[in-house]
Amino acid sequence: MKIPYTTEIREDTGLYNGKVGMWLFLASEVMLFGALFSAYVLLRIGAREGEWPHGLLNIPIGAFNTLVLITSSMTVAMSWTALKMGNFSLYRKLQVVTLACAVLFLGVKAWEYSEKFHHYEIWLNEPLTAQEYPQLAGHSTDLNAPITSIIGHIDDAGSFATLASLQEQGKSTVEIHPDEFHYRLSAREQGQRRKAERAAGGAAATSHAQAGIPIDVSNIARLSAFVPKHSTFFAMYFTLTGLHALHVLGGVLAFAYILWPASKMWRQDPERYTNSIEVTGLFWHFVDLVWIFAFPVLYLL
Amino acid sequence: MSEISTSPGALTAPASPSVATSKSAVISPSAATIQKIQRERKLYAAVYAVLLIGTVLTVAMYYVHFDAVWQMVAVALLIAATKAAFVVAVFMHLWHGQRDIYRIMFFTSIFVAALLGFLTYSLFSLPGSGHYLR
């Protein structure tokens, strides 16, 4: 059976059907991500002073992933022109680059997630001060100010530990290595600190994990890894980036299918094959667009 | 009408096992198409450059001191919107006047604007909200 309007233009829409279908789908996608982004905006602007966590994401890594994704968008657009020119081998090379970029993006994202899962925040019943523990200097500029929560690594905690799981293991104290360098200071402050350390002769610049501070489990009010339940911020971060990563995965599957198993269509109906790349490309550029907004909104603002 | 001309031999060409690997000759573009596609390629390269510069600016923005947070938010969203406009117009081919897609996206944008607009409006009636932007 012949499917109509796979290549020929429909008079009433002025387009082939696949393109109309994809744009309708993208319209629904705009609504899906629009809802999540506006929820983020409401929560971010509605948060009371000092309640929104700052600087918990790795900006250089996020920027790198942005570059990877826009590169893949460019190669998809170019690969479509290659098919238009009848140059299948150029198309194939460009699409292999696209797929490599997409897989790299997902790999970096997975690494970023796993980094988050073994960083912890401990909220204390009895606050500490930087006067008592100099390694907390980055948590507060005032030495005598009470520090009610500490961010860092916990010895032997692994990922996803909770206060309940520590109590179940019968632990009475945990040792936390404050790592405010990555998570409490803004990127600007990190840059200033690095500069100061280099000026000071800078052996410290390579190591930011501090000497451990023993904390009584009875002094812990709450303990959470950087997982969705840590805060509204992380809940939004994992929802948005997780949904986006699923879209990237979907794009990988579609492009790989068109590139390999479905490539015989190029011989049978090259115009239709070219259109399938244009339409899948539309989806891919949309996924790129979502990241163009998600990166500054989640990582920088 | 499509500009691509498919050679009449395409459908009867014998299938070979190396279909995907051989450089196919089934699409033979006209001189006009070649010229058009070459222009298109230059445009894509230019957009790619804009996107790279936009990303660098976005990160650089973080190291610039703004007097108020709303200024930083405005600049960040302006850069992102510019990048998005280039992607939509050029990579997604909306530049080439596709009337019915404009119609679909126009209605979608009304709903998104309503979603964002009502949420932002509601912020003014929340106690203590909005300090972030000041």
Among B29, B84, B130, select the one facing A84 at the smallest CB separation. Answer: B29
User: Does residue B14 carry a pLDDT above 50?
Assistant: no
User: Does residue B5 carry a pLDDT above 50?
Assistant: no
> Does A270 contact B6 at a Cβ distance shorter than 8 Å?
yes
Q: Which of B109, B114, B8, B93 is nearest to B44 (CA)?
A: B93
The span from the CA of A18 to the CA of A275, in Å, is 8
A52 to chain B, any CB pair closer than 8 A? The answer is yes
The pLDDT value recorded for residue A77 is 97
Average pLDDT, chain B: 79
Structure token pair of residue A229: 């339940």
Among A9, A66, A264, select the one facing B2 at the smallest CB separation. Answer: A9
The pLDDT value recorded for residue A259 is 97
State the smallest CA–CA distance between residue A155 and chain B in angstroms: 33
A108 to chain B, any CB pair closer than 8 A? The answer is no
User: Does residue B16 carry a pLDDT above 70?
Assistant: no
Residue pair A175/A155 in contact by the 8 Å Cβ criterion: yes
The pLDDT value recorded for residue A28 is 95
Say which residues have a Cβ less than 8 Å from residue B111's Cβ, sequence separation at least 6: A31, A34
The pLDDT value recorded for residue A144 is 86
Q: What is the mean pLDDT of residues B101-107?
A: 89
Q: Please give the torsion angle defined by the CA atoms of residues B17, A277, A62 and B120, in that order, rounded to the nearest 10 degrees.
A: -160
| Residue ranges covered by each domain of chain B | 32-95, 97-134
| Residue ranges covered by each domain of chain A | 57-116+232-300, 120-225
Among A73, A87, A266, select the one facing B87 at the smallest CB separation. Answer: A73
Q: What is the ipTM of this complex?
A: 0.88
Predicted confidence band of residue B18 (pLDDT cuts 50, 70, 90) = very low
HSE on the CB side for B116, CA within 13 Å? 14
Q: Which residues of A touch B84 (CB under 8 A)?
A: 289, 292-293
Q: Which fold has domain A57-116+232-300?
A: Four Helix Bundle (Hemerythrin (Met), subunit A) (1.20.120)
Chain A residue with CA closest to B106: the answer is A27
The pLDDT value recorded for residue B22 is 45
Note the pLDDT tens digit of each residue in B36-79: 999 999 999 999 999 999 999 998 987 888 888 788 888 999 99
- Chains A, B: CB pairs < 8 Å: 201
The pLDDT value recorded for residue A282 is 97
The amino acid at residue A100 is A
pLDDT over 90, % of chain B = 41
Among B19, B33, B54, select the one facing A84 at the smallest CB separation. Answer: B33
> Does B130 contact A300 at a Cβ distance shorter than 8 Å?
no
The pLDDT value recorded for residue A183 is 60
Return the residue in A6, A42, A97 with the most chain B beta carbons within 10 A, the one to mutate for interface testing: A42
Chain A residue with CA closest to B60: the answer is A188
Using the structure block, give the residue that is written with the tokens 């299918």. A257
> Does A188 contact B63 at a Cβ distance shorter than 8 Å?
yes
The span from the CA of B115 to the CA of B112, in Å, is 5
Please report the residues numbered 24 through 43 in chain A whose beta carbons come closer than 8 angstroms to any beta carbon of chain B: 24, 27, 30-31, 34-35, 37-39, 41-42
Q: What is the mean pLDDT of residues B83-107?
A: 89
Chain B residue with CA closest to A279: the answer is B92
> Does A293 contact B34 at a Cβ distance shorter than 8 Å?
no
Please report the residues numbered 241 through 260 in chain A whose beta carbons come closer than 8 angstroms to any beta carbon of chain B: 260
The pLDDT value recorded for residue A184 is 59
> Does B52 contact A67 at a Cβ distance shorter than 8 Å?
yes
Chain B residue with CA closest to A284: the answer is B92
Quick one: DSSP state of residue B23? P
Q: What is the mean pLDDT of residues B105-109?
A: 91
User: Does residue B131 carry a pLDDT above 80?
Assistant: no
pLDDT under 70: residue ranges of chain A: 180-190, 201-209
Using the structure block, give the residue that is written with the tokens 């269509």. A265
The pLDDT value recorded for residue B13 is 42
User: Does residue B4 carry a pLDDT above 60?
Assistant: no
